[in-house]
Amino acid sequence: MNTRINKRVEFRDLGLMDYQQAWDYQEGLFADVISVKIQNRDLAPEVQLLTPNYLLFCQHPHVYTLGKSGKPEHLLLDTDGLDQKEARYYRINRGGDITYHGPGQLVGYPILDLDNFFTDIHRYMRTLEEAIILTLGDYGLDAGRVQGLTGVWLDHKEQRNPRKICAMGVKSSRWVTMHGFALNVNTNLAYFGHIVPCGIQDKAVTSLEAELGHPVAMDEVAQKLKARLAVLFEMELEETRIQSTI
């Protein structure tokens, strides 16, 4: 464990980025953080290197991703169907089942060394959820958790019509995280009709736009959520804007 704590987190807005490109980008940063941690094992505490932290925001073109515990049959499209919907499909190394990413959805990938914050994956997941719950509260939505399920939900108390507004799935190794959350802001919800979202057959999916009855500025949501994350994790955010092409 690195005894030198680094609360600085470099924020990078990747814009609209192809899923595979973003995945490769994450993997590169993730590997760099792991490499520093391995180097530190052979160094005295007073000369150990600070491990970097990153927070990536982006949107993706239409894509379905299946986590390690997911079932391929939860994708209801064949190859021709994917082509017709101009969507791609990847099996990936996060936890969870199948989900959809697309334009109008705010995707967040925290690549954090939890030794800099707290070494508790359960707490990490709940803290991500809390940041999203508080952000949705800024728009007058009473969001929360459904017992036994990850992500953020509406009608989470009485559960007469519970509907997921944010999906989550993470990977962690040596207390370094990757993957993250996908918050439906102005998402085309019809694309969820071609999967069993997160393997859950009896609950709906929603978005900020669907709940409020009008589109919401993506930049505004991103700024609010970024601020909530910074407070809850006690981050010192430093912004780097990245221009990307797909």
Q: Cite the beta strand spans of the chain per DSSP E.
A: 8-16, 54-59, 63-66, 88-91, 98-101, 105-111, 143-144, 152-154, 163-173, 176-184, 204-205, 236-241
Determine phi and psi for 78, rounding to 5 degrees: -90, -175
Which residues have CB under 8 Å from 243's CB, separation 6+?
15
DSSP letter for each residue of 62-112 = SEEEE-TT--GGGB---HHHHHHTT-EEEE-SSSSSEEEE-TTEEEEEEE-
Calpha distance 106→150 (Å, rounded): 17
Antiparallel, parallel or unpaired: β 98-101 and 63-66: antiparallel
Calpha distance 34→106 (Å, rounded): 26
Which of these is catalytic: 146, 198, 221, 222? 198
Token digits of residue 193: 């009709």
Pick the closest to residue 1 from 174, 128, 142, 210 (CA basis). 174
The secondary element (H helix, E strand) that includes residue 32 is helix 19-40
Annotated active-site residue 198? The verdict is: yes
Cα angle 46, 47, 49 (rounded to 5 degrees) comes to: 120
Place of tokens 């949501």: 221
Calpha distance 54→235 (Å, rounded): 10
Query: Catalytic site residues?
Result: 198
